[in-house]
Structure 1
């Protein structure tokens, strides 16, 4: 049973009916100050826990109703003492018995003498059924202010069943009819959500099929230019889990063989950085303990990544998706963004040195001593030297954003980098930024295997680190061999080899610095992985 907050035992009384409650000014005032401030900070989807909440306002609300039930969609404006604002979407309903929602209530309420409970409406099947039926109805002009859209991949015409997908943290995902997954965006923005925008684009173009097809959406329209994506419905992809778990499990099995077979790790050579490698070119000594099937999977993942980028880069009419050259304005935007991020990470690292120990301290000090070199590398970006093009990209591409089914891969979650503004997530970027993100994820998977199982391995830490760099170099080589060939054969302009290597190195350093901030805030013990990545890059001569 959920922990009860102070306000939960209070009964809020109003001389109003449910259908006009949100016109009651006293309710609005008490709901925002006495109820929501306690309620929202206990929700998994609330992203402001690290900041000091100042006050909450209701920015907008609308009715969601049919002949039997009435709910409200509420857009909350959360103001923080640090002088910034976040917006959240909370659909609410009224029930007579709290066991309908497993006692998970927002507040007790009395309307004209009738007792009830305010609850998150997504917990109610009647709400979920109404939402689905409005989407499949597909009349986006029928309801004032709110557009329910039916997508191309929606084949059903009526609600049958629904259940929650428990994996979500920042959003709320519901499976409908065992065929579709509807994601309610809890943190919302006055703009089209990139996940909705890219999903709809890829589905309507129809070239890239290894992603869930767009099946519907809910949009709140303030005016012709100001809109807010509240929900996205897509095909449910049958899967065996995400690629992070899949690859880590297989890497763990390979490292068990390394320990059992007492292989001489130092006999293995790290291949030249960014050298393209075919499956038949992998060192046989490595394949004695590291499963060839993992490299086959990397080859398939590279193919799917290339197909995604080809599809995102083939548009010639819709300006939101047409490929674009590098410009001075982009360079200014990029450098300002990276300088801000670097200063933030350096400050964070200095303030958290006491949480680090062992080799992490040495790596952290190396970074602090070489922060000018990092800054120089970020500022060395010169758009006049780049001949490739920028496109819309995934933006937060890693193994956790990929589903696995029968050794094939399906790419999901195009929302972009969580730290970035909604506008920044839509800036066209080098497709190699996604590739670099995946390479960092490979690096994480290898080193997570080592650090999580260190006591089980017979090799020294130096030997294990050497093996990790060997495996990583081959993963990168196999991926690039497939990826570069595929995109170039389909006329996606990623530049010649020198430009490819420059952009990869640049984006890898950016990604590792970004990761460092996350790890220092969330799990300092894991900071060793981005720190090692940063040190490796800095020790490589440009």
Structure 2
């Protein structure tokens, strides 16, 4: 009996890192579209499939390769054997086949249209179609292909109808001459529910850059290795100068976003409603994580101060999921990545106006994680806690100083709002760590001291 492509995909998709419905049975998988981009052997076929699990239906993007025989180098991404156009063919994940992914480069360069897919090149750019791709393996929710040392193509696996915020933001900021985004080169889209929907984005690959999180951890390790009495500024690998530059870059990006997109304000009544949402999240978190109960008064007091604000709060487009893993240090400056917004949130929410202080709060929490996460299970955790506090305080202050100097000042009611945003972020972290990494629970709990 011949296995259909639909049946193959239903058995294969649950084992993929980017599959969002792990741990729940699939009720149904439907193949929504199959678009042939390259015929023959090997063939390249673009698939959109919908997976139903209970009341939730999620759409996924799968580039399919089809060959009569799969070479050894591709057997680790084999899906299975099925009938295709009257022939018995082996289906596999084509993202790992450089001989097929070159078609994506060619498509963007020539602005190919194979309905319902559209390939686009950013005006004023040219694409070197000779580059061969390699899949990055670190990502969880998407698949990224690096072409030589020139381009990185982010292939969105979970598809939501509409324009992806990252494409919208990076094209606007690059067009305005921002030094803090990687240059965009092209994108792939389709139409879903009557909306142009982003499937993939290609940008400059920052081959000579270092990730902010990695740089920060190196600094923390260096500090932990020094004598207890040595000030953090005298330890090798001090990060404060980079934290200051990162604060400056963050303020500049916020100013660029405010110039490229609409802005607005939150009135005091909405601030009070927001505060109530913060309180309800805290109440639920205390029920789920009893260890938070003894610290909750700190957050309640901060939320009370926020509710008492009688001034408007400016809002604009923001990053939305800002932390040290979202920034890269190039030889010239800091570059900000992944303007998708918070994963799992509706597209409209990720594109909504918000306070730039939400990004600031996210980065401040990231400094706390960088300082403390190495202490989980560390035999000298108790004696190193003071060093962790010192590192976090020094780099938080440097970041805020850089942010303020570049025009992102935090004054009066701004500080009240920032404190509330930090603590509601820490409440989220408490629940996350209790569910997933209990040994890390002391990190977010330290925010309430």
Instruction: Mark yes or no: TM-score above 0.5.
Output: yes
Give the corresponding residue for 2:68. 96
Count of residue correspondences: 448
Aligned partner of 1:181 in structure 2 is: 152
- 1:308 CA drift (Å): 1.1
Give me the whole-angstrom Cα distance separating, in 1, the residues matched to 2:343 and 2:87: 43
Q: CA deviation at 1:45?
A: 1.1
> Which residue in 2 is equivalent to 1:345?
285
Take 1:377 and 1:64, find their aligned partners in 2: how far apart are those partners? 56
Q: Secondary structure at the match of 2:412?
A: helix
Structure 2, unaligned stretches of length 5 or more? none
Q: 1:528 to 1:53 in 2, by over 3 A?
A: farther
Per-residue deviation at 1:86?
2.1
SS at match of 1:470: helix
TM-score, normalising length: structure 2:
0.89
- After the TM superposition, which residues 153-168 of structure 1 pair with which residues of structure 2 at under 5 Å, given as runs? 154-168=125-139
Aligned counterparts of 2:308 and 2:30: Cα–Cα separation in 1: 43
Q: 1:339 to 1:420 in 2, by over 3 A?
A: farther
1:148 & 1:330 partners in 2: Cα distance?
41
**What is the CA deviation profile of residues 172-212 of structure 1, one whole-angstrom value per residue up to 9, with x for unaligned ones?**
11112421110100011011111222111111121x21221
Q: C-alpha displacement at 1:213, in angstroms?
A: 1.0
TM-score of the aligned structures, taking structure 1 as reference length: 0.75
User: Paired residue for 1:233?
Assistant: 202
Matches within 5 A, 1:19-168: 27=4, 31-32=5-6, 34-65=7-38, 70-81=43-54, 83-99=55-71, 101-111=74-84, 114-138=87-111, 142-152=113-123, 154-168=125-139
- Give, in angstroms, the shift of residue 442 of structure 1: 0.7
Say which of 180, 183, 189 aligns to 1:210.
Answer: 180
C-alpha distance in 1 between matches for 2:395 and 2:389: 10
- With over 3 angstroms needed to count, the CA separation of the structure-2 counterparts of 1:248 and 1:144, relative to structure 1, is same
Separation in structure 2 between the aligned mates of residue 67 and residue 215 of structure 1, nearest angstrom: 29
Alignment partner, residue 278 of structure 1: none
Q: 1:468 to 1:113 in 2, by over 3 A?
A: closer
Structure 1 residues 184-333: aligned runs within 5 Å: 184-206=155-177, 208-222=178-192, 225-258=194-227, 262-263=228-229, 286-287=231-232, 289-291=234-236, 293-315=238-260, 321-327=261-267, 331=271
1:41 is paired with a residue whose SS is helix
In the alignment, the residues of structure 2 paired with residue 58 and residue 376 of structure 1 have an alpha-carbon distance, to the nearest angstrom, of: 52
Please say if residues 43 and 67 of structure 2, whose CA atoms lie closer than 8 Å, have aligned partners that are also in contact: no
Q: Aligned pair in 2 of structure 1 residues 348, 107: CA closer, same or farther (>3 Å)? A: farther
The superposition leaves residues 134-153 of structure 1 with CA deviations (integer Å, 9 ceiling, x where unpaired) of: 101135xx433222110247
8 Å CA contact retained: 1:136, 1:154: no
Task: State the alpha-carbon separation in 2 of the partners of residues 410 and 287 from structure 1.
Answer: 26
SS at match of 1:314: helix
RMSD over equivalenced CA pairs, Å = 2.9
Q: Are 1:478 and 2:398 an aligned pair?
A: yes
Equivalents in 2 of 1:429, 1:325: separation in Å? 9
Deviation at 1:383, TM superposition (A): 9.4
Match of 1:355 in 2: none
In structure 1, runs of 5+ residues without a counterpart are 1-9, 13-26, 264-284, 316-320, 351-363, 489-493, 537-542
Q: Is the CA contact 2:268–2:310 (under 8 Å) kept in the aligned structure 1?
A: no
Deviations 1:212-240 (A, max 9, x none): 111110111136x4232110000111235
- Secondary structure at 1:504's aligned position in 2? helix
Q: Is this contact kept in 2: 1:58–1:76, CA < 8 A?
A: yes
Q: 1:137, 1:157 within 8 Å by CA — same for their partners in 2?
A: no
Larger radius of gyration: 1
For the residue of structure 2 that corresponds to 1:487, the secondary structure is coil
Q: Which has the higher strand share?
A: 2
* Alignment partners' CA distance in 1, 2:46 and 2:301: 48
Distance 1:244 1:187 in 2: 26
- 1:328 to partner: Cα distance: 6.8
> Counterpart of 2:406 in 1: which secondary structure?
helix
1:368 aligns with 2:338: no
Q: Which residue of 1 aligns with 2:445?
A: 531
Q: What aligned pairs does 1:439-458 form with structure 2 within 5 A after superposition?
A: 439-451=364-376, 454-455=378-379, 457=380
- The alpha-carbon distance between structure 1 residues 199 and 113, as it changes in their structure 2 partners (threshold 3 A), is closer
